[in-house]
Structure 1
Amino acid sequence: MERDEITRSTDNEMSASSADDAKKSNTESGAFRSNENPSGNDSFEKRNFEDENLENKTFDSEDFEGNFDENLEENFDEGFEEQDTDEDSQKKFIKSKNDFFKGFLFGSLITIIIITLLFSTVVQGNITGANTDSKFNEIKDIIKQRYLYGDEVKRNNLNSGMYKGYVMGLGDPYSEYYSAEEYRALKEATSGHFYGIGAVFRLEDGKVKVMRTYENSPARQGGIEDGDELLEVNGKSVNGRKLQDISGEIKGDKDTKVTLKLYRSKTGKTFEKTLVRKDIVIESVSYKMLSNRIGYIKISEFTAETFNQYQKAVAELEKRGMKALIVDLRNNPGGVIKSTAQILDSILPGGKIVYTKDKYGHINTWNSDEAHKFTKPMAVLINGYSASASEIFAGAIQDYKKGPIIGEKSYGKGIVQQIIDLKDGSGIKLTVSEYYTPKGRRLHKVGVNPDIEVKAIGDGSNQLERAVTELKKRIR
């Protein structure tokens, strides 16, 4: 599941200012406002006259018949010090008077045309909305009358499906509506922590198995091992159920209990474990020291906790005498921009890290400073499943020539999603901007091409070996 670049506070501020600026732009460009003549009567408010004495005056048909000459003469009296009485002056006056009258009528005609077009647009919009409502009611009635399992239908499910379909109609695979339960899971995933037992499950040949457990988690302390098969959660079979639903049931409120039934193939025994849910921090960073004192850091995704975990990993490797560093972003689907930018700030010299541009052309930039930068040789591993925030990372390293990008071309997802709260606890994830590398490279549907292309063989260990070989050349 893509959980990309969810910069809540920054994006919210940016989106709000974008909307305000758009409204301001429309007003300043002279966009017609319907409240200038809402009724369509003969009387209207005339604006933007050059002469300040005619501004904001209201004219009606009586003004034209009885008072027009008086108003006009008053206007011209203010324009001349002395009135000529000869024939040329009279012609000049009459011509100016006629020109003014023609201009006034032409302006009125333009106003009427604009009002007509605006009214037509509003009416068409209302008709379209009415047609949509009518069609919806027709479908609803047909389902109510004819659907075989109508008595089993839950209204909330119908509404949720309708909202999902509306967002799906955008044709954007990265924009999505989430029910309240789904939305909570999404926010947990991007926050980097949740209340649960600290076990990661996967589907394997239709069976739900434990892939790994987190250190000091209730799962590990309770004796659950990698490879154990999950059979039941709180007495309910997991057979045929979605992994997301099972995971959601295992999670819950802090200090509450959950009972799991598991099967361990190496002993052939089935057993139960009742565990207390605790605050679990997602471990998105793992590390180790390779030969020649080359540090290795694997980042599985970018959550709100990834930067802190990365710092700890680097500090530990430095204690062990690290001389070079490999950052492995293979199969990393992305994550939070802020976390990615924080890590890059600790690596790059002062300058631009990444910038995003929204539909209004507004630019949001992340910058690094000179205070923190990584000076040892480094390399970055990517593949076709390195996406989004991973590509921000690789693209920045490449633009600054901090080290070779090794592996295979990345996925090519260069757009940013924002998650937005709805009043009932549900939410939507919406594409709001596109990002660019420090040098302005656009990566959406393009990807990052590696400096050294190495096709993976088997588990891809040959790519890691190539990175080690390259860094050995650079170690002093």
Structure 2
Amino acid sequence: MYIKKRTLAVTMIATIVLSSAATALAIKEFNVNQVPMPPANSQSEATEIQKFFQVYHMLRDRYVDKESPDTLLNGAINGMVQSLNDPFSTYMDPKAAAKFNDMIQSSFEGIGAVMESDNGKIVVASVFKDSPAEKAGLKAKDQILSVNGKSLQGIDVDKAAMMIRGPKGTKVTLDVERPSTSQKLQLSIVRAAIKEDTVFSKQLGNGMGYIQITQFSENTAKEFDTQLQSLEKQGIKGLVIDLRQDPGGLLDSVKTIADELIPKGKTILQVENRNGQKDVYKSDKGTVNLPIVGLVDGGSASAAEILSAALHESGGYPLVGEKTFGKGTVQTTQPYSDGSSVKYTIAKWLTPDGNWIHKKGIMPEYVVHLPSYFNLPVLTASDKLKYDMNNDQVKAAQQMLLAIGFDPGREDGYFSKQTEQAVSDFQKAKGLQADGIIQGQTINALMDALREKMKQDDTQLKMAEDVLQKEINSRK
């Protein structure tokens, strides 16, 4: 979560081997006391600043290879932020900062996915609806191992995101590990212009409305208000708010939405600063008088968790799904004249009841898991699977066939004669050439059939509808 509005640290491990008098003499000749000093507020601060400038000038003037001042300064700033050991604090050079701002404004060119850092690993926090990433099969919690063959080990999350993004029409290749299956995949994704609508709505039947929020960007509150008014004009009697795979976003955005949904005078959240002082944000509108059910999962983070907690603790509304991500900190960005910026953590946020859910998450009242085939990797157009092959792609295809009603006879990754027959039967049902080979049009048809099956088998949404119906009935 962000509030809209360089790291001066150098981590050095040095071993100096005094192999000759000349080496020792060269070091003595550098007089650190000749480095000019900026003003400081105290002697302690002056000493800290002096050390930094001494190291900076020493490396700029005497390091064996000439390095530009920008390289040294950016490295120092980045080192200071990394020393915080906070995955949500980072230094962004001008290019990275510009792309980050584009993302917050929901308009950029890339694959349409949000990245997070998890114990030094670059993982997918969420995938945008109908994005190139979703179509290629990238899923939340996937770990990105490399980008175009370059390992992401030791690279911070914002730099990794910038490596993945790029001009529309260009291709990026990701090596991915899926924790749920320990399977390693290689996905080639063609970047596109991502102008993301962050709110989607529809009617579910029986007078129930449905609103999905995919992230909290600058326009999300306005989009939410438009979609809600449309549903209210259609006479809905209750509302499901789907926050699954929502990685969060802007604090102001979620506060504006919660202000409508939470009864007037009730607490939306508390924000606690470094000194323990708390700002309490309360609803001053509470204009929505409908039964509400929140839908959450492990990809619901930050601002999505703020809204979830407010709905449950202040609104008394039930939550359905799986335990949320657990991000209980607030970040802001400090821009600089050269276009760079530092994103850093400035506070904790607490639920209305004063709970800090960081690294804990929120457990919904109704815990419901999705069918296992929801986590299957996506087959790509470059795949060609046929009789007598044995690999993870075949295993995934077998599980897909079984899920949509065509029995492959086994699910261990060996393409048997019975698997071939199941593929042939599927091809006949879809009006395709029945050659028993999984490639091209067969892959597209198989993925389409699986997506349709997933819509029908969304066990979490079905439970949310059941719970909401009970809430509606209780008000009659």
* Superposition TM-score tier, normalisation by shorter sequence: 0.5 to 0.7
Say whether the 8 Å CA contact 2:320–2:460 is kept in structure 1: yes
**Aligned residue among 224, 239, 250 for 1:325:** 239
Say whether the 8 Å CA contact 1:378–1:402 is kept in structure 2: no
Shift of 1:400: 2.2
Shift of 1:395: 0.8
Structure number with higher helix proportion: 1
Say whether the 8 Å CA contact 1:357–1:434 is kept in structure 2: yes
Matched positions, count: 309
2:363 maps to: 449
Pair 1:174–1:201, CA change in 2 (3 A): closer
2:272 maps to: 357
Shift of 1:430: 1.4
Say whether the 8 Å CA contact 1:334–1:386 is kept in structure 2: yes
Q: Following the alignment from structure 1 to structure 2, what is the Cα–Cα distance between the partners of residues 201 and 447? A: 22
Letter in 2 for 1:161: G
Say whether the 8 Å CA contact 2:60–2:68 is kept in structure 1: no
Letter in 1 for 2:162: Q
The residue matched to 1:430 in structure 2 has which SS?
Answer: strand
2:341 maps to: 427
2:398 maps to: none
Q: Percent identity?
A: 30
RMSD: 3.8
The residue matched to 1:475 in structure 2 has which SS?
Answer: helix
Q: Following the alignment from structure 1 to structure 2, what is the Cα–Cα distance between the partners of residues 474 and 125? A: 60
2:257 maps to: 343
2:3 maps to: 6
Gaps of 5+ in 2: 6-40, 116-126, 138-146, 151-159, 173-189, 375-456
1:369 maps to: 284
Q: Following the alignment from structure 1 to structure 2, what is the Cα–Cα distance between the partners of residues 138 and 346? A: 57
Q: Does 1:385 align with 2:382?
A: no
**Aligned residue among 151, 159, 162 for 2:73:** 159
Shift of 1:226: 5.6
Superposed CA deviations along residues 334-393 of structure 1, whole A, max 9, x for unmatched, are 1111111111111111122122121244433332124x4322221111122211111111
Pair 1:454–1:261, CA change in 2 (3 A): closer
Superposed CA deviations along residues 36-59 of structure 1, whole A, max 9, x for unmatched, are xxxxxxxxxxxxxxxxxxxxxxxx
Pair 1:226–1:381, CA change in 2 (3 A): closer
Superposed CA deviations along residues 260-315 of structure 1, whole A, max 9, x for unmatched, are 689xxxxxxxxxx9x9x8xx753111222223232221111111111111112212
The residue matched to 1:244 in structure 2 has which SS?
Answer: helix
Letter in 2 for 1:411: F
Q: Following the alignment from structure 2 to structure 1, what is the Cα–Cα distance between the partners of residues 129 and 361? A: 31
Letter in 2 for 1:331: Q
Gaps of 5+ in 1: 9-120, 204-209, 220-224, 229-237, 251-258, 263-272
Letter in 2 for 1:462: T
Shift of 1:439: 2.5
Pair 1:471–1:159, CA change in 2 (3 A): same
Shift of 1:130: 4.3
Q: Following the alignment from structure 2 to structure 1, what is the Cα–Cα distance between the partners of residues 42 and 289? A: 62
Pair 1:386–1:200, CA change in 2 (3 A): closer
2:187 maps to: none
Letter in 1 for 2:472: I
Pair 1:212–1:462, CA change in 2 (3 A): closer
1:244 maps to: 162
Q: Following the alignment from structure 1 to structure 2, what is the Cα–Cα distance between the partners of residues 124 and 261? A: 51
1:396 maps to: 310
Say whether the 8 Å CA contact 2:292–2:317 is kept in structure 1: yes
Letter in 1 for 2:284: D
Shift of 1:438: 2.2
The residue matched to 2:371 in structure 1 has which SS?
Answer: coil
Pair 1:302–1:176, CA change in 2 (3 A): same
The residue matched to 2:346 in structure 1 has which SS?
Answer: strand
